[in-house]
Chain A
Amino acid sequence: MSQAAFNPAAEQEKLDLEMVEIHLLTEGIYRHYGFDFRDYSLPSMRRRIWKRVYAEGLSTISALQEKVLHDSGCMERLLLDLSINTTAMFRDPTFYLAFRNKVVPILRTYPFVRIWHAGCSTGEEVWSMAMLLTEEGIYNRCRIYATDINEAVLQKAKDGIFPIASMQENTSNYISAGGKDTFSEYYTARYDYAIFRPSLRENIVFAQHNLVTDASFNQFNVIFCRNVLIYFNNALQERVQQLFLNSLDNFGILGLGRKESIRFTSVADSYEEIDAEERLYRRVR
């Protein structure tokens, strides 16, 4: 395979131009549609944007900008690229196990528990939590507020209908997570889908919420936000961590993704670790 000789100045210019294009695209989306991706982390943004450029049959980010601004269908598709996070029931089973063993005993002492699941995507982890709390006998005292920026995925979360093909993995996660019943009893199989028991949804409120632009909407005892902040840059992570801190009661619990950490933000000193490995924290000041 022959390759043109390397020309540092030309490559540098191309990269700088790419930065300008990404900036203009996100600024245009913000002004026209109100979605704010301006403080999303660059490396992932770059990959996701280029994926959409090629999928639309285009060759530059500028061309994508034009299409996105004039064609709301294209914006919908880009929005899915930028905001969908794949998930599974009881993902990272040891997280749920730690929650069961170390957090549930604390929650038992509360008359009422408010839980915010921020960035819930298609809802698998919300339904998982409803099962766990049911098995622990405290679900009737809990209310879960499940939010996401994206209405389309939120509707999926609300429906509670998931591909039957994922049930094998879900079942094995459920068992590793310390599940106490039989996983298959939570759903009814219909063709290629598993329809989950509507009773699990009784204490879940699904609502659109944008972590980037919206304010806090309640005080909570528990906040989950797993593998959402990795897509934000430092400034935006800082903003959202402040939002969480201000939305947590004293001694409230914060649960992050397995490789997300509060130690690079200014809220680090406001929490103590409940389980360092599983990224479960408790607000202490």
Chain B
Amino acid sequence: MRQIGIIVIGTSLGGMHALSVLLGALPPDFDPPIAAVQHRYRFSNESLPAYLRTKSKLPVVDVDDKLFIRPRHVYLAPADYHLLVERGSFDLSKDPAVKYSRPSIDVLFESAADAYRAQCVGVLLTGSNDDGAQGLVRIKKQGGFVIVEDPASAEAPEMPQSGIDTAQVDRILPLERIGPYLVELWRQSRT
């Protein structure tokens, strides 16, 4: 079965709710590390991680540069930095915005795809632009697995729709089923 090295999630408009539903469905012993980009305002403070901490059974961390990637943790891209994945640790960058966004979903997805290759699982949720679609393409190119929220159930359908239009998607699921599906993937990977 597919080993899961990392799960990367991207979302913008409607993402706070979507992330809380998805993370809330994961049990506290859910091993694979999760890294998420939610488009955030440049000066946004601690409110996003604080909110998600109330919904997730896993610890939620705003990433510092060079932080080690550990199992059973949810990592968030900090405001106004790109979040990049190196095998085993995170990198931050202040490079220009991609798709008008910093943090950018494409930047996270592409770096995770290169670092974890077939062990990378990408999840694209609700959002109002096309950030993330190119990242999904890269994940597929490296042999990873890609899940997109069903645009019909998404608060803002543009982002998942552009993912479906651009990349070869493995699963299209309504929001409520994504968390349970990740648990299923993980359980299979252990057998």
Binding site for B on A (CB under 8 A): 1, 3, 6, 8, 11-12, 15, 41-44, 46-48, 85-86, 227, 229-231, 234, 237, 257-261, 263-264
Contact = CB atoms under 8 A, between A and B. Distances in A.
Nearest to B82: A44
A135 B65 CA distance: 33
Contacts of B84: 43-44, 47
A19 to B, nearest CB: 10
16 contacts: A6-B118, A6-B140, A12-B117, A15-B142, A42-B86, A43-B91, A44-B84, A44-B91, A46-B111, A47-B107, A230-B93, A234-B66, A258-B78, A258-B80, A260-B65, A261-B65
B115 interface: yes
A230 B92 contact: yes
Contact of B78 (A3, A8, A259): A259
Contacts of A47: 84, 93, 95, 107, 110-111
Contacts of B115: 43
Contacts of B117: 8, 11-12, 15
A258 B46 CA distance: 13
B111 A43 contact: yes
Interface string B97-137: 00000000001001100110110000000000000000000
> Among A1, A46, A237, A259, which residue has the most Cβ atoms of chain B within 10 A?
A259
B96 interface: yes
A47 to B, nearest CB: 7
A11 B111 contact: no
Contacts of B166: 1
Contacts of A257: 65, 94
> Among B62, B64, B81, B85, which residue has the most Cβ atoms of chain A within 10 A?
B64
B60 interface: no
Contacts of A6: 118, 140-141, 143
Interface string B7-27: 000000000000000000000
B86 A259 contact: no
> Among B91, B115, B141, B143, which residue has the most Cβ atoms of chain A within 10 A?
B91
B154 interface: no
A102 B43 CA distance: 21
B141 A85 contact: no
Given A11-B141, A11-B142, A259 B93 contact: no
A237 B107 CA distance: 22
Contacts of A237: 66
B74 interface: no
A261 B64 contact: yes
A245 to B, nearest CB: 18
Contacts of B141: 3, 6, 11
Interface in B43-102: 62-67, 78, 80-81, 84-86, 91-96
Given A41-B86, A230-B65, A260-B65, A8 B95 contact: no
Contact of A41 (B62, B91, B107): B91
A8 B114 contact: no
Contacts of A48: 95
Nearest to A173: B43
A147 B145 CA distance: 45
Contacts of B114: 15, 43, 46
Contacts of B80: 258
Given A8-B143, A11-B142, A15-B114, A85 B65 contact: no
A263 B67 CA distance: 10
